[in-house]
Amino acid sequence: MLNTLFNLCLICLICIANLAYPSYIHDLSLPSFKIDKEESTKTSTEVTQPIEGTRLEEVYTKDLPSYIKPVWKKDSAQLPVTLFLPTVSRKNLFPTTKYIPNTNTPVTSTIDFLKTYVNIPKINSLKIKNKVLLLDFSSKNNFSEYNSEILRVLVNTLTSIDGVDGVLFLVDGKKTDNLLGNKDTTNVFYNDYPYAYLSYDYNGRNLLVPTTVHDVNQVIKVLKSDKDELQGVIPKGVELIDYYITKDTLTLNFNENFLKAYKDRPDLKNMLINSLNYSYTSFEKINNLEIKVDGEKISTFGDYDLSTPMKSLKIINP
């Protein structure tokens, strides 16, 4: 039921009072997504007053946003696609994986499905050349109705498809330096990998949202910090002792406080594991993640078996 409600209410992000969204995003005015109380994970400790200067993981209450663990569907008839949609503030894009009927034309099908959530300018044609998608808009579009943000939505969504590394926007087959508010699109747009994934509270549900990082040494620092509407996911006291890479596997070695993170909240433990997985496997040549505590392997954390390295997760915020 939760996933059905979430699927129906994604676009409620744009329907808050006194906030005008550009017309290129559909405004469906649907009811907000909210976890039912009986389905929320409760904790044994309740804090009735907020604690100044603390973040999400330091205040354990039954009202903390819930996190839904992504589950891979083994169905050859279904194709997972990851859409990137604007948060309420439009400062960030949040990814959400949905399933559509499998097809031999995944790019076209993904664009068609994306139109469920955002208005996209009319497209003349598209083709892939050397892993770059050439997306040709019609000059008959009224581009004044759109915002350059739609380019970020398209680039991040389409480069999540296997075989597409970048997008080149054309108008009637030609490059332009005056698209969507004087946006220069004469060069290929690439996704901003690598990422660190922070928490975003969407109406009572935690989503993991990417923010750009430059090297692997930055990730832990970013995951401990808040950024605008995004919250850090690593609790205070959890420290990374060291890390090392063996072939395509990254091993993180935390101190003992890692095992105390998110006490009585298995869903948030899952969120922490997922954030680490998404963040580090966004780096080139890192495909697996191993987590140790004080140099020793741990068997489980949340709902995850950590006795062996985890493969890169392909599903996010379902």
CB 26 within 8 A of CB 118: yes
Question: Residue 201 in contact with residue 179, Cβ under 8 Å?
Answer: no
Degrees (nearest 5) of the Cα angle 72, 73, 79? 105
Q: Could you tell me if residue 294 is left (phi over 0), alpha (psi between -120 and 50 degrees) or otherwise beta? A: left
Q: Is the pLDDT of residue 69 over 80?
A: yes
Let me know: does 13 contact 87? Beta carbons within 8 Å.
yes
Alpha helices in 115-228 (DSSP H): 149-158, 219-223
**Neighbouring residues of 40: CB distance < 8 A, sequence distance ≥ 6:** 62, 63, 66
Q: Give the burial string for 225-248 (b: 16+ CB within 10 Å, else e).
A: beeeebbbbbbeebebeebeeeee
**pTM beyond 0.85:** no
Q: Give me the residues paired with residue 83 across strands.
A: 96
Smallest Cα–Cα separation from 280: which of 305, 255, 244, 231?
244
Beta carbons of 92 and 211 less than 8 angstroms apart: yes
Instruction: Please give the DSSP secondary-structure letter assigned to residue 25.
Output: B
How far, CA to CA in Å, does 46 sit from each of 49, 55, 122, 233? 9, 15, 52, 20
3-class DSSP assignment, residue 9: helix
- Residue 54 pLDDT level (bands cut at 50, 70, 90): very low
H helix intervals, the chain: 2-9, 106-114, 149-158, 219-223, 266-280
**Looking at the predicted structure, is the pLDDT value of residue 194 above 60?**
yes
The tens digit of pLDDT for each residue in 76-96 reads 899 999 999 999 888 999 999
Question: Rounded mean pLDDT of 192-217?
Answer: 95
User: What is residue 180's predicted lDDT score, i.e. its pLDDT?
Assistant: 82
Structural domains of the chain in order of their starting residue, each with its CATH number: 103-190 (3.30.300), 202-311 (3.30.300)
Confidence of residue 5 (pLDDT cuts 50, 70, 90): low
Q: What percent of the chain has pLDDT over 90?
A: 69
